[in-house]
């Protein structure tokens, strides 16, 4: 079983729609959860971090965490063409590790 799983996509949504990105993880002791956005040829850029169950909102982005289901998601409201990128889910293993375990990423395309 892969440690962090994401649908590779591509996920295509029209401009203005809600994009929903999903991620599951296998390590039940994982403590910290991150969403990174990566444009082609560029560095991964942190857009959201979440550490406790529930929702966390930041502008058009909402991260949702459900530790019982080992599931974390990212919602992007009012999607814009500039949101087109690969979105990477990353978690830290249990034990306060300093390493991130990444999923392969989901490629999102927002069509004008």
Partner 1 sequence: EAGVTQFPSHSVIEKGQTVTLRCDPISGHDNLYWYRRVMGKEIKFLLHFVKESKQDESGMPNNRFLAERTGGTYSTLKVQPAELEDSGVYFCASSQRSFNTGTGHSPLHFGNGTRLTVT
Q: Which DSSP category does 83 fall into? A: G
Alpha-carbon gap, residue 84 to 15, rounded angstroms: 10
Counting residues that bind partner 1 (by CB under 8 A) gives: 26
In 12-27, which positions are buried (b, 16+ CB within 10 angstroms) versus exposed (e)?
A: ebeeeeebebbbbbeb
**Applying CB under 8 A, does 72 fall inside the site for partner 1?**
no
**Applying CB under 8 A, does 46 fall inside the site for partner 1?**
yes
Q: Which residues pair with 108 in a beta bridge?
A: 11, 85
**Among 18-26, 41-49, 59-67, 72-80, the segment contacting partner 1 (CB under 8 A):** 41-49
**Applying CB under 8 A, does 40 fall inside the site for partner 1?**
no
Q: Which residues bind partner 1 (CB under 8 A)?
A: 4, 31-32, 34, 36, 41-46, 49, 51, 88, 90, 92, 96-105
């Amino acid at each position: 079983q892969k440690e962090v799983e994401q649908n590779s996509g591509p996920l295509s949504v029209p401009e203005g729609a809600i994009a929903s990105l999903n991620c599951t993880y296998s390590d039940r002791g994982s403590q910290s959860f991150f969403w990174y956005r990566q444009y082609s040829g560029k560095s991964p850029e942190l857009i959201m971090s979440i550490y406790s169950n529930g929702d966390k909102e930041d502008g058009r982005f909402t991260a949702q965490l459900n530790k019982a289901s080992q599931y974390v998601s990212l919602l992007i409201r009012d999607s814009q063409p500039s949101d087109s990128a690969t979105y990477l889910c990353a978690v830290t293993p249990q034990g306060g590790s300093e390493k991130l375990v990444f999923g392969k990423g989901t490629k999102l395309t927002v069509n004008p």
